[in-house]
Amino acid sequence: MRLFLGLYVLFISISTFAGEIELKGTYQGKDLYIRNPYLRNSDSFCVTQVLVNGQSVLENPKITALRINLSSFARGEYVTIKIIHADTCTPEILNPEVLKLEKNFRFLDLLVSNNSIDFSTEGESLYGRFIIEKKFTNNDLTTFWEEQFNVDAKGDLTLNRYSVEPKHDPGDNTYRLIYQPLEGDQVFSEEIVYTSTIAPITFFPFSVTNKITFSDYVEFEISDSNGRILKFGNALEVNVQDLKPGEYFVKIQNRYERFVKK
């Protein structure tokens, strides 16, 4: 039976009853230190038993300092510890600032530059992830969000930093982050706009018979006036001979452009 135990709890609940202290929280791999007073009158120690998730791990420990190592538990696993002690004394938790630490998730900052999207957080839970989305505009001027990247969350309670390489389009690029924990509600960041000076990719002609030519290789979509996507891919030019005469839209980068098939 180990005399040294270790625990760090998040969203901790500490209840004290006559002869019993109960701690509840999620294991994060840190240590909890407890002073176990020596009772001179009875030549004994204050703590008589320690239970972890209902299982006894210590009985009448004859030592004044207890440190518990719960290496059999996974990080983030829920743990309940009961400290049974004599009525004439109270064990002292030596690092209550750690045990009482309770942080809800929040985004600390979000910065966008030409080469990176950087953000930091605190209060993460385990096994979550982040989605980086960018706002686009349809040809009818309605807007929608589209996923650009996703990143696994580090799962630490304190400061976490992340950086991803963006794919900016010319002009204004509007981004937001979504934090998706394994359990609970997702959290949205504020929107942030970055204006890129990249030269936009263009195309010609606007009134076409055979093909459309782009100024550089680009991902594209061609749709009709009802929004049905008819062609897509990555190319320098697109053959449109098979399209019926009428009005069409080509999506390149973050915008839609109109052209007419003769």
Q: What are phi and psi of 252, to 5 degrees?
A: -135, 135
The pLDDT tens digits for 91-105 are 987 766 654 445 688
Single residue among 55, 83, 99 that ends a domain in this structure: 99
b/e map 121-141, b = 16+ CB within 10 Å: bebbbbebebbbbbbbeebee
Residue-number span of the structural domain to which 22 is assigned: 4-99
Average pLDDT of the residues of the chain: 86
* Whole-angstrom distance, CA of residue 94 vs CA of residue 78: 22
15 with 89, same domain: the answer is yes
Single residue among 166, 196, 226 that ends a domain in this structure: 196
* Whole-angstrom distance, CA of residue 65 vs CA of residue 133: 50
Structural domains counted in the chain:
3
173 with 212, same domain: the answer is no
Handedness of CA 53, 9, 97, 104 (dihedral sign): negative
The pLDDT tens digits for 175-187 are 999 999 987 789 9
217 with 257, same domain: the answer is yes
Q: pLDDT below 70 — which residues of the chain?
A: 1-18, 25, 28, 75-78, 95-103
Q: What are phi and psi of 97, to 5 degrees?
A: -65, -25
Q: Give the pLDDT score at 64.
A: 92
- With 0.85 as the threshold, say if the pTM is over it: no
Q: What are phi and psi of 87, to 5 degrees?
A: -70, -20
Q: Give the pLDDT score at 100.
A: 47
For 43, residues 6+ apart whose C-beta sits below 8 A from its C-beta are: none
CATH code, 135: 2.70.50.50
